[in-house]
Amino acid sequence: MKHRGQVQAIQRFEKAFGTGVLVLDQLPKWVKVGIGNKLVKPKICIISAVCPDYEIANGKFTYRNMGDGLPHTAARHLEFIKQTLPILASAGITFEYHMTLADTEFDLPMIVKHLAGGNPQLFQEKCQKSCEKLMDYAKESDAPLVSCERFTSVFPDWFEQYHKSLQILADNPISQGSVSSEAWSRVPLYRAMAGREITIDYSREMVVRQRAQYMAWGECATRRFGDSLIMINHLTPNLEFINHPAMRRDRPRIPIIKLPISTMPAS
């Protein structure tokens, strides 16, 4: 049975989604229920997954270059967290907030050539510097960020789970049905990231790759942060793969808070 303070925390947490600078999409019922179940645990872990410091112009991603500063998505996540976590703290809910930064494109030659001069090590170094600057910024702005680490650093079994996810997708022909339609819609994104024209086959490979990354993230994050995990992410069709049945098995789904941020490039 929930304590009165926990019930109030859930109610206030839901109310926060419709106020403030960031207005979230209406949460599905299963996400609200999932968050409610987490809030009765001794401590919850709220984990953001954010992009590297890809170039932004007029609030839109351009992918013309990549920096080592504060990534746009990460700054938006911190803005939301600074509004929301005090609500939980005031209701006596114990929490931790962490960021994980996707450095997982370092092995894609076209993207690395476009954004890091063909140097995979430089790509990851830029991601690492962004993590360090995010920690400094959080401290200066009094944001309750406990850690910020790259995917391939914070998750020691990242590559194992990623390749396992790829195999699961390859063995499931039903999941291939939506790949082609999604690939066509995401050609502008992958073309911008590569800095050149791409084939539809390349886009299909990227769709499958990113689905597998989200599957791997869900498994790795659960192992690293525990079952009290709540995820924050930007808008993407890949989010459903966080809770892929082959990875979650008999465990409850990870509640996902979707911030209204698009990583699609400016047209």
Q: What integer pLDDT is reported at residue 19 of this predicted model?
A: 46
- Where on the phi/psi map is residue 142: left (φ > 0), alpha (ψ -120 to 50), or beta? left
Reply yes or no on whether the pLDDT at 6 is more than 60.
Answer: no
Reply yes or no on whether the pLDDT at 16 is more than 60.
Answer: no
3-state secondary structure of 54: strand
Residue with tokens 């808070």: 257
Q: List Cβ neighbours of 133 (8 Å cut-off, separation of 6 or more).
A: 68, 69, 70
At residue 100, what are phi and psi to the nearest 5 degrees? -125, 130
Mean pLDDT along residues 206-232: 95
Least confident stretch, 4-18, 84-98, 224-238: 4-18
Read off the pLDDT band of 54 (50, 70, 90).
very high
What residue ranges define each of the domains in the chain, with the CATH number in brackets? 4-262 (3.40.50.620)
Reply yes or no on whether the pLDDT at 187 is more than 80.
Answer: yes
Q: List Cβ neighbours of 149 (8 Å cut-off, separation of 6 or more).
A: 98, 99, 100, 101, 131
Q: What is the pLDDT of residues 80-114, one digit of tens each?
A: 888 887 777 776 778 899 999 999 999 999 999 99
Reply yes or no on whether the pLDDT at 197 is more than 90.
Answer: yes
Reply yes or no on whether the pLDDT at 17 is more than 90.
Answer: no
Reply yes or no on whether the pLDDT at 29 is more than 90.
Answer: no
Mean pLDDT along residues 135-158: 95
Nearest to 16 by CA among 262, 259, 266: 259
Reply yes or no on whether the pLDDT at 15 is more than 90.
Answer: no
Output 86 or 63, whichever has higher pLDDT.
63
Q: What is the pLDDT of residues 31-41, one digit of tens each?
A: 777 777 777 77
Reply yes or no on whether the pLDDT at 142 is more than 70.
Answer: yes
Q: What integer pLDDT is reported at residue 248 of this predicted model?
A: 85
pTM: 0.90
Reply yes or no on whether the pLDDT at 193 is more than 60.
Answer: yes
